[in-house]
Chains A and B, each alone.
Chain A
Amino acid sequence: MGAGREVAISLDGVRDKNVMQLKKLNTALFPVRYNDKYYADALASGEFTKLAYYSDICVGSIACRLEKKEGGAIRVYIMTLGVLAPYRGLGIGTRLLNHVLDLCSKQNILEIYLHVQTNNEDAINFYKKFGFEITETIKNYYTNIDPPDCFVLTKFTTPSQAKK
């Protein structure tokens, strides 16, 4: 696609000055309206939440929440990852996910997880490619979409791998 034409893809952080961009994306991408806590978590996660720019247009995002486990270790929960429909298939989603995975390995974070609707095979396959595995099924996770169940996809890294 776009043979011979390299369009630059770049990532930029989310700040209170441009958080509206993330809101616009979420409105367009997801049938869910996220509340203030979502955006507070996203902003708090720092480098783990990113906007993706296709030349100068904001077209996708990854938003994470950092969670403290018992014992003090940190794990990353990917709240949303999405790219605007016209800009899919250009490697932007991969770029966003890789960014977070790299950060995790750099910061020695061993667990990353997310929820995905059980029938969303494309998504499941996408994540499996990056080493995620289905670790749990939650019944009736969603309230008003069908099917209401979701998988929990998790990627564990061993400390030795992380410290390469």
Chain B
Amino acid sequence: MGASLPPKEANLFKLIVKSYETKQYKKGLKAADAILKKFPDHGETLSMKGLTLNCMDRKSEAYELVRLGLKNDVKSHVCWHVYGLLYRSDREYREAIKCYRNALRIDPDNIEILRDLSLLQAQMRDLTGFVETRQQLLTLKPNHRMNWIGFAVANHLCSNVAKAVEILEAYEGTLEDDYPPDNERCEHGEMLLYKSEIEDQPVAHGGIGIHRVFNSLLFRHIIHVREKYGLFKEELFLLQGIKSVVLISLLEECGFLERALEELHKKEPKIVDKLTSKEQEVSLLVKLGRLEEGANHYKALLAMNPDDYRYYEGLQKCFGLYSENGKYSSDEIDRLDALYKLLAEQFTWSSAVKRIPLDFLQGDKFCAAAANYIKPLLTKGVPSLFSDLSPLYDQPGKADILEQLILELEHSISGDGRYPDRTEKEPPSTLLWILFFLAQHYDRRGQYDIALSKIDEAVQHTPTVIDLYSVKSRILKHAGDLVAAASLADEARCMDLADRYINSESVNRMLQADQVALAEKIAVLFTKDGDQHNNLHDMQCMWYELASGESYFRQGDLGRALKKFLAVEKHYADITEDQFDFHSYCFRKMTLRAYVDMLRFQDRLHSHAYFHKAAAGAIRCYLKLYDSPLNSPAEVEDNTSKATQKKKMKKQRKAERAKKEAEEKNEGSSASGTSKSGRRHIKPVDPDPYGEKLLKTDDPLSEATKYLKLLQKNSPDSLETHLLSFEVNMRKQKILLAFQAVKQLLRLDADNPDSHCCLIKFFHKVSSMPTPVSDAEKLVWSVLEAERPSISQLQEKTLSEANKIFLGNHEDSLMHRAAVAEMLYTLDPTKKLEAVKIIEDSSNKVVPTNGALGSVMEWKLKDCIAVHKLLDNVLIDTDAALRWKVRCAEYFPYSIYFEGSRSSAVNNSLNNLDTETPLNGGANGPDIIQSGNAFTSNGKLEAFKNLKI
């Protein structure tokens, strides 16, 4: 490095490198300038200066200098290395890899560059390349532990497990006489554990033999270590125990059950984690078919913890009384019942032993068991009781039984304060919890008016229980009155300002009611002072960003909606990015098992539900943007926005100044060596807070495609992914890709109304296209010709016929009828009236129930709203839409959308709230004072009327 320079300058050059490594950038800059004074064209110095400037946030200068340096000295590996580092700092890993490769062409044995390259290869999952680089590193420096490990891990990641084990063993061989120094003992142990973990895979290569070798090696090692370094006895014990557990679970994984069990018994006294060893033992016994022993072991485990559902499940398996879907024959039910009765006698304190039978018991027995289970919990006051029981509502009939049961209890308690057939009086709160349960019960069944009357009764009984307001808010949300739901949630929040959960819930409800500004204000109450909104972003508060993005989308503010969705997408990109630091860190610290886990987690990161939602939201925004592009830019940017622009500029300038100041400070502190990470804590001001720039994209569809690809790769089994793919590709005229989406939809759910629509739309569109002219078009055509007969829905049928058959198959479903109607209209716009008729002829059936109160309707509010939008916007029949609205307002009296008679859209004051309680808990309302002079305590009149002393 710096070889072409005279000695004085060569020393200066070394100083630049050193200053860069120690983050003393100013010093480095000075040295660089000193060299450049004499040798203004020296390439390596120019490059290093650029790299230094890059760390001082002078990006454009940096790139300029580095490129200039490279131009002046294209044969220098330093210049290429620097160029690679520059790209790496900007996360342009592919470019960086290219640069490193160029550098290595010049200096193939440069350890540093090889190491940097290997990190990037791991990050980009260029696994073959990773193995090669690691092999090279090992060949160059075989005396470094890290290189052995690195090569082994690389092979492991490449699924070359046998090789990985071989490497580790070879390495261990070199250690026989020379045990790791004291300070590396821990790392070494980690390596052994790691090895044992990957060893489970080479079954075909005589895995057991390797285990044996490994085993003896490990013990020899442990004894050595102990002798040499006086390792504490307990520590040794622990190490052996952990090792045994890992080894045994590996044996179990590769199916060597007998051996695993043997090993377990042999090592039992050494294993410290007794519970794990017992659990492992029983799992082995069951796998070996030694069920009787297994059952006894499970009983022993239950004696330790009688509320672990897994033990019960295991015990059932041992008795051959377990089915995945929870369905049992009546004989099996009897046997299960007997089993649990026996267990209940033994484990009187267990709640699981009482709860589980509710899943399989039926009829009268279920009723009795439920009563037995529920009553004490109502007495005790367990707010989560309904969530506990709510899975039972999926089983036919059980909801009715529960309803009867609880209503009986309510009747009895409100009569004489006792449960039926009991002499003991219940505490006053029992009635409250019964009402609370009933409200949730009716909510679940869609009987919102009864649910509300029950919850109001409960509030009247005890107005101080926060859960009541939360549940009422949820009922109103389900019933379609989002505004009232938001204000109820806020009322709950006001009752305990220190509770983050109800704060978040209230924010969420406000966002659902599109009160974004208010929601932001409330959310900020729990963020750090000062930097408020950004804080939610920095904390990666994704539910908030998703909910507000969706709200903006509903309000038509595509810019801000996109902004929020992309923010979530960015979090995921950041998480991917975050792994970079671990490639080197984990090798150094030898946390190999965690490292491999982390890499596998990262590989499926984007299949997470929040990412899916964000990507789908962003794609929808782009589709909408494509369908109705912004008006001419001049119109959008009228005077008002100019004013805001000015403000923005001002803000930006201010921020830049602050940034500079902070930078100087940072420089100072890093020079003194306090800032190790070298990370900057200055927040750049968002130059585009309303997403206006995002909206100005020239090609929204290609933006959408970016996210679509991620969805297709990571959520291939979601209907939504392919619906979006269909929409995007139809607009892009990518016929074959759209066809692929249709095929995926049919694969996932051919009966879904949306799948049907896509199918019909697709072939309708194809049939209306001009006859193919170019070769490419002809090719597409021939593919479709060949594929169409394979689609069973369309075999020898016209689209109209297929549509009709679909209607015939799903005549009773509203959403299917709506889909058929839409397609009818799409295929032949003259049939609009017929289409409207198909929708209006749908009937909202009453779901059969023997419930004592009211009736349950089949239609869902969400679906009815969708149908209304279809009538209004697609079929464009305002009369029909109005008729539909009136009809639905009757079904959903609380719905704001349909302006139902009991929704807050109609009643200005929220008739659902206590008349005495002002909106939002009265936090802002002025209190009314009755008498000016004194505070009356005449309330005692009430308070003590029933006081019995």
Contacts and interface: CB of A to CB of B under 8 A. Distances in A.
Interface of A: 1-5, 7, 16-18, 20-21, 23-36, 38, 54-59, 65, 78-90, 93-94, 114-117, 119-120, 122-123, 125-126, 129, 141-145, 150
Nearest 4 pairs of A and B residues by beta carbon: A30-B939, A82-B943, A86-B428, A58-B464
9 contacts: A2-B425, A21-B495, A32-B935, A58-B465, A86-B431, A93-B944, A123-B941, A123-B944, A142-B931
A27 B463 contact: yes
B934 A115 contact: yes
A28 B498 CA distance: 23
Contact of B935 (A16, A79, A83, A88): A79
B497 A89 contact: no
Contacts of A56: 381
A35 B929 contact: yes
A46 B239 CA distance: 55
B261 to A, nearest CB: 48
B937 A81 contact: yes
Interface string B914-945: 10110001110001111100111111111111
A5 B938 contact: no
Contact of B934 (A25, A59, A141): A141
Interface in B400-426: 424-426
B940 A123 contact: yes
A59 B940 contact: no
A130 B741 CA distance: 81
Contacts of A142: 930-931, 936, 938
Interface string B148-161: 00000000000000
B470 to A, nearest CB: 14
Nearest to B426: A2
Interface of A is mostly: mixed
A38 to B, nearest CB: 6
A93 B949 CA distance: 10
B946 interface: yes
Given A17-B497, A89-B948, A126-B947, A82 B942 contact: yes
Given A143-B931, A144-B930, A17 B496 contact: yes
B429 A80 contact: no
A143 B379 CA distance: 43
A3 B425 CA distance: 7
Given A87-B428, A88-B947, A89-B948, A57 B938 contact: no
B946 A89 contact: yes
Given A16-B497, A94-B949, 11 more contacts: A7-B427, A20-B495, A24-B495, A33-B928, A35-B927, A55-B381, A81-B940, A84-B462, A85-B946, A114-B937, A142-B938
A129 B949 contact: yes
Contact of B944 (A36, A120, A143): A120
A17 B938 contact: no
A143 B929 CA distance: 11
A131 B645 CA distance: 73
B927 A93 contact: no
Nearest to B429: A57
Contacts of B427: 2, 5, 7, 54-55
Contacts of B922: 23
A21 B464 contact: yes
Nearest to B935: A79
Nearest to A125: B949
Given A3-B425, A87-B428, A123-B944, A32 B495 contact: no
B583 to A, nearest CB: 46
Interface string B478-500: 00000000000000001111100
Interface residues of B, number: 48
Given A30-B938, A54-B429, A82-B939, A17 B464 contact: no
A30 B916 contact: no
A82 B941 CA distance: 10
Interface string B545-586: 000000000000000000000000000000000000000000
Interface string B436-466: 0000000000000000000000000111110
A84 B431 CA distance: 14
A115 B936 contact: yes
Given A32-B938, A38-B935, A78-B937, A122 B494 contact: no
A124 to B, nearest CB: 9
A20 B494 contact: yes
Contacts of A24: 463-464, 495
Contacts of A65: 935
B941 A120 contact: yes
Given A30-B939, A88-B946, A120-B941, A20 B921 contact: yes
Nearest to A37: B935
A57 B462 CA distance: 8
Nearest to A41: B935
A81 B944 CA distance: 9
Given A3-B425, A57-B381, A142-B938, A123 B943 contact: yes
Interface string B666-697: 00000000000000000000000000000000
Nearest to A116: B940
Contact of B941 (A26, A54, A117): A117
B425 to A, nearest CB: 6
A5 B417 CA distance: 14
Given A33-B927, A126-B949, A5 B944 contact: no
Contacts of B936: 30, 32, 115, 141-142, 150
Given A26-B939, A29-B943, A86 B496 contact: no
Contacts of A25: 463-464
Interface string B574-608: 00000000000000000000000000000000000
Contacts of B941: 117, 119-120, 123, 145
A42 B346 CA distance: 52
Interface in B380-397: 380-381
A85 B184 CA distance: 70
Contacts of A2: 425-427
B100 to A, nearest CB: 57
Given A7-B427, A122-B944, A125-B949, A31 B938 contact: yes
Contacts of A122: 944-945, 947
Question: Which of B426, B495, B940 has the most C-beta atoms of chain A within 10 angstroms of its own C-beta?
Answer: B940
Contacts of B494: 20
A155 to B, nearest CB: 15
A143 B937 CA distance: 13
Contacts of B381: 55-57
Contact of A18 (B463, B497, B943): B497
Contacts of B945: 122
B943 A28 contact: no
A93 B937 contact: no
A85 B917 CA distance: 19
Given A23-B922, A117-B940, A33 B934 contact: no
Contacts of A94: 949
A114 B917 CA distance: 27
B496 A18 contact: yes
Contact of A1 (B425, B431, B498): B425
Contacts of B949: 94, 125-126, 129
Nearest to B497: A17
Nearest to A58: B464
Contacts of B917: 27
B938 A29 contact: no
A34 B927 contact: yes
Contacts of A120: 938, 940-941, 944
B629 to A, nearest CB: 49
Contacts of B923: 20
A14 to B, nearest CB: 12
Contacts of A123: 940-941, 943-944, 947
B456 to A, nearest CB: 13
Contacts of B429: 54-55, 57, 86-87
User: Which residue among A78, A88, A89, A123 has the maximum number of chain B CB atoms within 10 Å of its CB?
Assistant: A123
A29 B464 contact: no
